[in-house]
Chains A and B, each alone.
Chain A
Amino acid sequence: MREIEAAAITETVARLAVESTHFLPEDVEGAIRDARETERSPLGVQIIAEILENAEIARERMLPLCQDTGTAVVHLELGQDVHVSGGYLIDAINAGIEQGYGEGYLRKSIVEHPFGARTNTETNAPGVIHTEIVPGEELHIGFMPKGGGCENMSRYQNFLPGAGREAVIDFVCETVDLSGGNPCPPLIIGVGVGGTAEKAMTIAKHSLFRKVGERNPDQDVAALEGELLEAVNALGVGPQAVGGSTTALDVFVETYPTHIAALPVAVNIQCHSARTKHAVL
């Protein structure tokens, strides 16, 4: 049994909120830099150049990469031999969100009642917190400030089991086509196949914590990822949907065993400002 202080969790989440919103992960910036070389549309190339310049300005001037500093999505992997002391785990996370969004001059985008008054909570809490209990005595915290524009383009559908692989490809392409410029392409596309409705969307979201270029260890799934990336980039949507060959930087697919009657498919889209940050306690 290992003790982790709630206060240490709060401090860590606050730090992750500030760092993730100001510093674009290296793998993402690298992929955008590569796209600048391969993009066919001159206007697309110029947009990509502005995205790279933005990352530099954000870093140097401590300005958030994007004004939408997101819903705070927090993915916890909590070792079963950890004991959190000095407070309740979820309260500690939300306190960290409040602290980070305050100290970091980040936008508070969360409203209390989704329909009706929509009063801002003024803290950006509560976050959307997923907790997995895992072996061991560490606490892994993944922080993702998820923008509204791309999150709004999420889609879920259950297909007839016989529809198979093609149904997945059609659904992903249709989702990207319909979303156009709203989710800020070039995108990173998370796809969850299997499980139940909420499982499919959860694994789609979780896949977005991967590094660009990191393939699913299952060869068939990795092959589908490659095929999806090609299919999506053939759509011509392009950077900011002005037309071009770079609609997505990567596609991540996660699968989970499912019911004999089901083929759940969930798509969770990430904008080019693909901000994630991890810490281990």
Chain B
Amino acid sequence: MAESKAITLPLTDEVIDDLRIGNHVEFSGVIHAARDAAHKRIVAMADAGEELPLDLRGQVIYYVGPTPARPGQVVGAAGPTTAMRLDLYTPRMLELGVKAMIGKGGRGQVVREAIQASHAVYCIAVGGTGALLNRHITSAEVVAFEDLGTEAIRRLEVDRFPAIVANDAFGGDLLEAGRRQYRTSSRPVPIEGGGA
């Protein structure tokens, strides 16, 4: 098992300086859960000049919509959702101060450039491990957009929440590098946006 970097939140520029693609990290502290509907609403509010329900500066945003908690649990299964769907909103979220995002899957070219330009970082958590990741969430509280249900913004306290750096602040892209390293097929990698 590769060694993990323990990161106590909030994130600092110095910590981001030290992160490179493929690094294992373990976040401890406060992160915020938000997915499609919440992103759409935050960006619309920001564009209209309205006050946002939370200060995004320095925030870590986790793309997750958990299952309901059973009685006695703080949250249900809580693994990452597909980050690509949030690409539409991500450059704006970075402008508003977001410093790290946790999701699954790759990011589009525009977002990769925005991550580098904003000196931010994108990490993946292992998709489909919602039960395992549940154990790293010690508290969960809806703090905005309660009407969105599973898509509401939640404040999560996490303890050694495991993730892997997929896009660092220096233009590195784990998914692209990894596919190149292990590809034995002679097929060319299709161009992004060419299909699915």
Most B C-beta atoms less than 10 A away, residue of A43, A54, A67, A120: A67
Is there a chain B Cβ closer than 8 Å to A105's Cβ? yes
A280 to chain B, nearest CB (A): 28
Chain B residues closer than 8 Å to A127, beta-carbon distance: none
Chain A's closest residue to B67 (CB) is A107
Is there a chain A Cβ closer than 8 Å to B104's Cβ? yes
B135 to chain A, nearest CB (A): 7
Is there a chain B Cβ closer than 8 Å to A51's Cβ? yes
| CB < 8 Å A-B pair total | 196
Most B C-beta atoms less than 10 A away, residue of A47, A173, A240, A245: A240
Query: Is there an interface contact between A66 and B179, defined as CB atoms closer than 8 Å?
Result: no
Interface size for chain B: under 10, 10 to 19, 20 to 34, or 35 or more residues? 35 or more
Is there a chain A Cβ closer than 8 Å to B77's Cβ? yes
Q: Which of A142-156 contact B (CB under 8 A)?
A: 147-149, 152-153, 155
Query: Is there an interface contact between A64 and B178, defined as CB atoms closer than 8 Å?
Result: no
Binds B, one of A77-85, A197-205, A231-239: A231-239
Q: Could you pull out 25 A-B pairs where Cβ atoms are within 8 angstroms?
A: A50-B126, A54-B128, A63-B77, A64-B77, A65-B77, A65-B128, A67-B65, A107-B67, A107-B76, A120-B149, A120-B150, A177-B187, A177-B189, A178-B194, A178-B195, A178-B196, A180-B106, A181-B127, A182-B196, A236-B182, A236-B183, A241-B175, A242-B175, A243-B182, A273-B128
Query: Is there an interface contact between B68 and A243, defined as CB atoms closer than 8 Å?
Result: no
- Bound-state CA distance A47–B189 (Å) is 23
Is there a chain B Cβ closer than 8 Å to A179's Cβ? yes
CB contact under 8 A between A67 and B78, given known A106-B67, A107-B150: yes
CB contact under 8 A between A240 and B104, given known A57-B131, A234-B184, A272-B128: yes
Query: Is there an interface contact between A107 and B65, defined as CB atoms closer than 8 Å?
Result: yes
Binds A, one of B43-51, B79-87, B94-102: B79-87
Q: Which of A40-78 contact B (CB under 8 A)?
A: 40-43, 46-47, 50-51, 53-55, 57-58, 61-69
Chain B residues closer than 8 Å to A148, beta-carbon distance: 81-82
Interface size for chain A: under 10, 10 to 19, 20 to 34, or 35 or more residues? 35 or more
Is there a chain B Cβ closer than 8 Å to A108's Cβ? yes
Is there a chain B Cβ closer than 8 Å to A175's Cβ? yes
Query: Is there an interface contact between B124 and A181, defined as CB atoms closer than 8 Å?
Result: yes
Chain B's closest residue to A246 (CB) is B182
Is there a chain A Cβ closer than 8 Å to B185's Cβ? yes
Query: Is there an interface contact between B183 and A235, defined as CB atoms closer than 8 Å?
Result: yes
Q: Which of B144-170 contact A (CB under 8 A)?
A: 149-150, 162, 164, 166
- Bound-state CA distance A53–B77 (Å) is 14
Query: Is there an interface contact between B106 and A64, defined as CB atoms closer than 8 Å?
Result: no
